[in-house]
Structure 1
């Protein structure tokens, strides 16, 4: 990840540090960068923050499209595939050896080390397009939750028949203002506390949703469910069933998005014990924990709402009583996604700033760095580049989110487009390059079967998401 210019020596400088015998300095790693302090706990928190995002809110809807049998099977299958490929990717943090090789600070650097420049360019395009898309999706979801709080309080004060309209524009401005401040945090290493807070929030709102689902089921509300989900001719037409099935697969794929920041998370870990060992444990903890919550939220949400499950299962409980509990749940979503936005945008910030500084190394605006001492906040690093570029990014992504307020289909498109290249293709290809896997060997064969099967699934999900977005846009313009 990008460090402050004063803390990020060039390759030559790092070599000089090692040659000069400063590799044992307590504040520096052996490559001259700031010493990493990440642990299993912080890595697990980063993963949970990245994985349990807005995707969890659409899982009841996804299960409703797929049914009692296929829905849980698809959910478990995606979790196993994600965990398996994440383990492969963790071994690619160092090259050519997973324990003693040279560190790769970003996902793209790992791809370049194992697969070459052309594959690196493809990876960079997929990764950073996905990161931008995820931050836009999180902006949409955060504002939806903020609006749900305002609407719930309005109904509570003025009665259930009141005309309670919420200004999304104001909420987008509030969201952008908060993100502009948080975006000035210099790098990924400095947001560990934000990830821990966000992880706690994700558990909180998931638990509230589960509690409300159980309460709805216990209340004796009878809803229609089936082994195959939404019924053709009753709930949906035959064509809608097909498209929504594909959309549901995309939503589940999005719910497991975090491979695109895995290397960046791994780069925060201490060098001992080996980073790949700790990262594999963190991935197992993160994926297994989130799968448990996903299964509960998806299954119980479907049981509570049936084939008419809403796109956001927390807002599906209405805006009435217990209004305070629903408010707490939506506040937790907003806080969590404020943190998750930073987890996903920090790698993109680092990429652009590193490229700009390498391109114009003598530019004073790009390389200037100052430290402000503020009451209570202590020393705050300030950079003109960070201030202008990151502010512009937040404003731009928020503006796009304001113009595309379609929750489910947008999440499905992001998940479908990014799942195959970032979660499957590059980790598998890097693993086979590292292991020098022989063509047509059993390992090569099974790995390519995995690649082919996941590619087909991703293409179907992309088609479903595009059709859903087109339908939403058509309805919105009518």
Structure 2
């Protein structure tokens, strides 16, 4: 069946054949004329877990230490519930109208445009892509910290603790950037499913090792450290306590941030059953798994270190024996972040390339695909614009990371900046518009109260993280400081 004239968008009222396949679809093409989607519950879960259990898990022991045994786990649970609930609302917006036959929205911005109009779509796009850009910076910093931890660990053991082993993070950021330049040439989001599965496995590996070392340290000392209210006044000043508590909210928000790529993940899922049903199940599984890991890592890290809980859990064990185990955990973090960087950046890459192709449709530089034969594989389609622009993007994120390598503060700012608008506000507003929920009704009021409460949390988290960056910048020298 020839599909060259297939419609690009599904019509609002689709007719199904006896096999349950929409008319206009075929074995090779979906109902919108695009190649058949192959994503499943498991691949969607892998994408989500890769996006969620990222470097954010490493700062949770520190965040729990700022909040204490009562507020720490409570805030973690609260964020997990809000993330799951708003993700379900957002997954309902993948199709406009009917959840089975409605017109597809391929990106988060498409969904906002369909439900809220063009003006809000532009605001959403600006926030979303700035956040993705920031995540790329945060992941570059986190990967370099783990690579440095491996180098310092081996240096200490070779010198029998006589060498201070001061190391610059710059070469490791450059190394990570080179890897990302190569991987960023993978053309489309749906072609990196294998990278997501590898990254998800790695995230479980290092989270489990961090958890295990926390349990071992608690068993060794024979007591749970920490207090009900968190880090005590005296260890820090009262002002620092407030700012750090706010920053902890941003760190936890960052640890749960994946809504910005939810629609893009949903667009890889095959149907039937409807993409919404599959995504809802994948979201539930992923949030339960990640929350369990977060609770364990955050709480056991706090129990092990108390007020001295480190900003990065795995670097806080120092050169704890067996040091090779920490090396494995840090290597797993690097491998995971290599994949997670791509999961987050592919939607940004696709947006810029689509915009460029529409703006300059006659440009050979932008549109021409050069087929490069690869023995034993399909030919690789090289696009010069993709090669140049993605390489420049990775170089810019790497240079900014080298200028401002403050892991906890950057993570807090990213979490605060993206959490309310992308995880809460837009999903809530789109859901209200799609379901035509009457203004001032009980349901409308509950959704608005949720949105307003999350806005206050985001503002507090942003204030705390910015204060942290200002303090760090007072003592930091760009390109020169070693650790």
SS at match of 1:476: coil
CA displacement, residues 346-393 of structure 1 (integer Å, 9 cap, x when unaligned) = 000000000000111111111001221223554222111111110111
Preserved CA contact (<8 Å) 1:9 1:33: no
TM-score by length of 2: 0.94
Q: Which structure 2 residues correspond to residues 142-157 of structure 1 after superposition, within 5 A? A: 142-157=143-158
Match of 1:186 in 2: 187
Could you say if the C-alpha distance between residues 54 and 66 of structure 1 is closer, same or farther in structure 2, counting changes exceeding 3 Å? same
Match of 1:261 in 2: 261
The structural deviation recorded for 1:13 is 6.3
The structural deviation recorded for 1:168 is 2.0
Preserved CA contact (<8 Å) 1:155 1:320: no
Preserved CA contact (<8 Å) 2:53 2:290: yes
Match of 2:365 in 1: 365
Preserved CA contact (<8 Å) 2:250 2:458: yes
CA displacement, residues 394-418 of structure 1 (integer Å, 9 cap, x when unaligned) = 1111111111100001100000011
The structural deviation recorded for 1:254 is 0.3
| Deviates further, 155-164 or 281-290 | 155-164
The structural deviation recorded for 1:272 is 1.2
Is 1:108 matched up with 2:109?
Answer: yes
Partners in 2 of 1:222 and 1:279 — Cα distance?
42
Partners in 2 of 1:113 and 1:174 — Cα distance?
41
Match of 1:355 in 2: 355
Match of 1:117 in 2: 118
Could you say if the C-alpha distance between residues 405 and 9 of structure 1 is closer, same or farther in structure 2, counting changes exceeding 3 Å? farther
Q: Which structure 2 residues correspond to residues 33-432 of structure 1 after superposition, within 5 A? A: 33-220=34-221, 224-232=225-233, 234-375=234-375, 378-432=378-432
Preserved CA contact (<8 Å) 1:160 1:320: no
Partners in 1 of 2:23 and 2:64 — Cα distance?
56
Preserved CA contact (<8 Å) 1:180 1:391: yes
Match of 1:3 in 2: none
SS at match of 2:475: helix
SS at match of 2:292: helix
Preserved CA contact (<8 Å) 1:90 1:263: yes
The structural deviation recorded for 1:100 is 1.6
Preserved CA contact (<8 Å) 2:59 2:408: yes
SS at match of 1:219: helix
Partners in 1 of 2:474 and 2:164 — Cα distance?
26
TM-score by length of 1: 0.95
SS at match of 1:319: coil
Preserved CA contact (<8 Å) 1:214 1:300: yes
| Deviates further, 370-379 or 165-174 | 370-379
Partners in 2 of 1:377 and 1:31 — Cα distance?
28
Preserved CA contact (<8 Å) 1:152 1:320: no
Partners in 2 of 1:469 and 1:31 — Cα distance?
47
The structural deviation recorded for 1:169 is 2.1
The structural deviation recorded for 1:271 is 2.1
Partners in 1 of 2:87 and 2:10 — Cα distance?
31
| Deviates further, 285-294 or 167-176 | 167-176
CA displacement, residues 294-327 of structure 1 (integer Å, 9 cap, x when unaligned) = 0000000000000110000111001242110000
Partners in 1 of 2:4 and 2:252 — Cα distance?
41
SS at match of 2:373: strand
Calculate the aligned-residue CA RMSD, in Å. 2.0
Is 1:447 matched up with 2:447?
Answer: yes
| Deviates further, 377-386 or 201-210 | 377-386
Could you say if the C-alpha distance between residues 22 and 384 of structure 1 is closer, same or farther in structure 2, counting changes exceeding 3 Å? farther
CA displacement, residues 143-182 of structure 1 (integer Å, 9 cap, x when unaligned) = 1101111111111212112131324222122111110110
Partners in 1 of 2:168 and 2:377 — Cα distance?
33
Partners in 2 of 1:404 and 1:473 — Cα distance?
8
| Deviates further, 170-179 or 265-274 | 170-179
Partners in 1 of 2:23 and 2:224 — Cα distance?
67
| Unmatched runs of 5 consecutive residues or more in structure 2 | 15-21
SS at match of 1:452: helix
The structural deviation recorded for 1:23 is 3.3
SS at match of 1:371: strand
Is 1:467 matched up with 2:467?
Answer: yes
